[in-house]
Amino acid sequence: MNANAGWIVPFIIFGGALQSCGAAMNGQLNKYVVNPWLASTISFALITFFFAGASLIHPSPLPTQGELAAMPWWAVVGGLVGAVQVYAGEQSWSRALRRLHCHSSVDNVVAH
């Protein structure tokens, strides 16, 4: 391992630990704001502010106008596609569990 990249392992471990708390945090957010769409908006707004701040701290490299003009139109919708995929997967999983008379962890967090 490169000596300069040694910081990445603790960062990955810490990030994984935080990720495991994410579902519970989002469930609590949904519980208190009641509306899952509003909870998602709040969650993604915080992510947007974080990355906007990171971009201000580390502003380079920035794309040129030519690079932006050459970018395919669909390149910017990757996040939306990912969100639709997660939503569809969760809905499919919840329906399958309901057929088995079970509840998903998301349903349990939201219900309590």
Alpha-carbon gap, residue 1 to 20, rounded angstroms: 26
Same domain? 44 vs 8: yes
Ranges of H-type helices in the chain = 8-33, 36-57, 65-70, 78-99, 105-111
Same domain? 56 vs 3: yes
Same domain? 112 vs 93: yes
Same domain? 78 vs 109: yes
Average pLDDT over residues 83-106: 72
- The verdict on pTM exceeding 0.85 is no
**pLDDT tens digit sequence for 46-83:** 989 999 999 999 888 888 999 999 999 999 898 888 88
Are 104 and 97 a contacting pair, CB within 8 Å?
A: yes
Q: Which pLDDT does position 112 carry in this prediction?
A: 47
Same domain? 46 vs 25: yes
24, pLDDT greater than 90: no
Same domain? 21 vs 36: yes
Alpha-carbon gap, residue 17 to 1, rounded angstroms: 22
Same domain? 48 vs 72: no
Select the more confidently predicted residue: 69 or 102: 69
- Rounded to the nearest angstrom, the gap between the alpha carbon of residue 23 and the centroid of all alpha carbons in its chain is 10
